[in-house]
Amino acid sequence: MGEAYLRAVLGLWDSEAEPALVSTLRTLVSSPDGQAVIGSFVLEVALRALEPAVDDGSGSARLRLSLVAS
């Protein structure tokens, strides 16, 4: 699961969106509410694609991904 997460993050980072991601990340880190926003983004956007890969049939994929994101 860690490898899949890392591949997803690096895939976003090494895309055309990199300059916008860097700028957004800098803004969020300097904001008091930034950590919550980053955590929500990671869970709702970056990890969403990994749900099918980590779903073991018990419906625990969402919980498992939120533990990884924390």
Distance CA 5, CA 60 (A): 16
pTM score: 0.45
When pLDDT is averaged across residues 15-42 and rounded to a whole number, the result is 84
C-alpha distances (whole Å) from 9 to each of 1, 27, 55, 57, 64 are: 12, 18, 19, 25, 17
pLDDT of residue 56: 84
Q: Whole-angstrom distance between the N-terminal and C-terminal Cα of the chain?
A: 14
pLDDT of 1 > 70? The answer is no
8-35 b/e with 16+ CB inside 10 Å = b? beeeeeeeeeeeeeeeeeeeeeeeeeee
